[in-house]
Structure 1
Amino acid sequence: DAVKNDAELDECFRQVRQLAVSPKGLVSDAFRQELWPFLLNSDTVEDSALDLPPTDDTSSTEKAHRDAAQVEKDVERSLWHYDVVLGIKESDRRAKRRALTRIITGVLQTNAELYYFQGYHDIVSVFLLALEDPQRALRAMQHVSESYHRESMRSGFESVMATTRLLFPLLDAADESLFEHLRESHVRFVRGMQRSCNQLLHLEGRHPWFLM
């Protein structure tokens, strides 16, 4: 019955999440292409209405969102350091960058309350390279941006800064020895946040920690 099916689906979801945060993660992009959309529930009928902006209308696309100039600068510097793009042709890299721009633009156009932040293009790059299909990557990023990254994509970082101030008390409660080590090292979470995120995004396994 429906209740039993929902319970089985919930248990499947829980097991997949556990697998995703295990040491070897989801192992390969072939698994990620099936399981990331499942975890995000992004391959639904409702999401089929999400379309990538056209490639042949650059001027209107740039006028459609306020962060086009910064997006262009970040994308131009992107897709160099991932293992899967180290040996590709420059023409293929440019094609992936165009797809990257279209995904970012598509997300921003869909929700005017979302603001671009530097480093967002790296997150989108991971989804584009793992899922391979720009349309599916757009759907996934729409869900990620409107949920897990929503606070980071507000017009200011006030809520994010407030959240980071809770990290030390939480860490103290969870791991007192680690907390003491960081405190004695004069570590500040706010300053280290962007660098830490970039390091996570460049891990060889490219695990989607921001989904968990």
Structure 2
Amino acid sequence: MKRSRSVGASSPLNGIGKQDGDPRRKRKLAEISQALNVTPVDVAVLRRMAISEGGLLTDEIRCKVWPRLLNVPTDILPEKSGMPDEQREGLQEELIDIILRVLGRNTQLHYYQGYHDIVVTFLLVLGERLATALVEKLSTHHLRDFMDPTMDNTKHILNYLMPIIERVNPEVHDFMQQAEVGTIFALSWLITWFGHVLSDFRHVVRLYDFFLACHPLMPIYFAAVIVQYREDEVLDCECDMASVHHLLSQIPQDLPYETLISRAGDLFVQFPPSELAREAAQQYSQQMAASTFKDFDLTPEQQRADTVLRRRRREKQALKGAAAGAMVATAQPTTARRFVRLAVMGLTVALGAAALTLVNTALEWAPKLDLHLFP
């Protein structure tokens, strides 16, 4: 009989309860407000709030805190952030506009399959103007190496996964090595910040709180703790590449996110990237070819911008008890827009690589202030 783990119904979805009378929630809201209202803003406290149980709690707070975590200048941000429901009909065009602006202003960046999963999350939470500013900052920092013309850096970052697993659980590591499963099952996790594989929008934005507050390599640590959490299932699996790859590619939707976030943070402190760098480099000789990245070989329908937007929109509106509406693109594409539209639709895709900005600790790393908003 296969062994498996499950999360009980009483497990908290967002860590801290949503009731106004919850003392932990009140205390956290007060700490966030105080950190935002001092001069200068206490970014260290905001990072701690984003990482700690429950994350940033609401999208309204995220509109205020996410720019601080990415060091985007707030004195030129629009006063009103977020997107009213009545303005959501044009989301697909706004998504393409954001991608066009970012790529147009940063010609060294290359669109990659899954990029729009990240962009649409920022669009839904922040609205187009603010999302554009943060996506540009994110694309030139956390996601920078994903947006290279080749997959070399992406593969290198994936190579950190097995050394982390080896330190946490040598038995699982050896089993995976024997199965020759590699790390490709985690590719879509990494390059979309789990946005493509998680069906609940609340879980996605909770992870974004965590990743925005941390070192760019934190998603690979989170991938490692997911594998560790599924230890029993892995060891009960047939020890061959196809079986183990299939198991790990199907990420559970009922994970204990707060527990895994805490564990990932602990692992980062215990085994920082600098300690793993040599082993990660050695993994190149065992790396599967880029042509075998089948777990992210998505069908055109899965990668259509309107498909992603509808899925995310349904998830977000379901939280408010509202039905999702259909979205239709109406603007005629220019040559540049047509190219990006093809890419977003999954018809023209250039897989890139991921971000690796070396820092000493997660809380010491932060993007430099160099972004200007569009007029």
Query: Do they fold alike, i.e. is TM over 0.5?
Result: yes
Tell which deviates more after alignment, 35-44 or 199-208.
Answer: 199-208
User: Are residues 22 and 95 of structure 1, via their aligned partners in 2, closer, same or farther at CA, if it must alter by over 3 Å?
Assistant: same
User: Are residues 185 and 26 of structure 1, via their aligned partners in 2, closer, same or farther at CA, if it must alter by over 3 Å?
Assistant: farther
1:190 shift after superposition: 2.0
> 1:164 matched to which residue of 2?
158
Tell me, in whole angstroms, the C-alpha distance in 2 between the residues paired with 1:9 and 1:180. 51
User: Are residues 93 and 184 of structure 1, via their aligned partners in 2, closer, same or farther at CA, if it must alter by over 3 Å?
Assistant: farther
Tell which deviates more after alignment, 122-131 or 9-18.
Answer: 9-18
1:116 shift after superposition: 0.5
Which of 127, 134, 151 matches 2:122?
127
Could you list the runs of 5+ residues in structure 1 that have no partner in the other structure? 1-7, 49-83
Tell which deviates more after alignment, 139-148 or 170-179.
Answer: 170-179
Q: Which runs of structure 2 are paired with 1:12-161 in the superposition (5 Å)? A: 12-43=42-73, 93-132=88-127, 134-161=128-155
Which of 186, 196, 210 matches 1:192?
186
* Offset from partner CA, 1:146-189 (integer Å, 9 cap, x none): 00000000001111102211221133234546645755776532
Tell me, in whole angstroms, the C-alpha distance in 2 between the residues paired with 1:111 and 1:39. 21
Could you list the runs of 5+ residues in structure 2 that have no partner in the other structure? 1-37, 78-82, 215-375
Determine if contact 1:107/1:138 at 8 Å carries over to the other structure.
yes
- How many aligned positions are there? 164
Partner letter of residue 148 of structure 2? R
* Offset from partner CA, 1:117-172 (integer Å, 9 cap, x none): 1111110111111112x111111011100000000000011111022112211332
Q: Which protein is richer in helix relative to its size?
A: 1
**Secondary structure in 1 matching 2:197:** helix
1:94 shift after superposition: 4.0
Tell me, in whole angstroms, the C-alpha distance in 2 between the residues paired with 1:149 and 1:123. 10
Determine if contact 1:20/1:26 at 8 Å carries over to the other structure.
yes
Partner letter of residue 48 of structure 2? Q
Partner letter of residue 191 of structure 1? F
**Secondary structure in 2 matching 1:116:** coil
1:201 shift after superposition: 7.9
Which has the bigger relative contact order, CA under 8 A and spacing at least 6?
2
Partner letter of residue 147 of structure 1? H
TM-score (norm 1): 0.65
* C-alpha RMSD of matched pairs (Å): 3.2
User: Are residues 177 and 42 of structure 1, via their aligned partners in 2, closer, same or farther at CA, if it must alter by over 3 Å?
Assistant: farther
Determine if contact 1:126/1:201 at 8 Å carries over to the other structure.
no
**Secondary structure in 2 matching 1:204:** helix
Tell me, in whole angstroms, the C-alpha distance in 2 between the residues paired with 1:187 and 1:181. 9
Partner letter of residue 143 of structure 2? H
User: Are residues 195 and 202 of structure 1, via their aligned partners in 2, closer, same or farther at CA, if it must alter by over 3 Å?
Assistant: farther
Partner letter of residue 157 of structure 1? M
Partner letter of residue 14 of structure 1? A
Tell me, in whole angstroms, the C-alpha distance in 2 between the residues paired with 1:102 and 1:184. 46
* Offset from partner CA, 1:79-103 (integer Å, 9 cap, x none): xxxxx99xx78xx554111111111
User: Are residues 15 and 185 of structure 1, via their aligned partners in 2, closer, same or farther at CA, if it must alter by over 3 Å?
Assistant: farther
Determine if contact 1:33/1:131 at 8 Å carries over to the other structure.
yes
> 2:202 matched to which residue of 1?
204
Tell which deviates more after alignment, 120-129 or 178-187.
Answer: 178-187
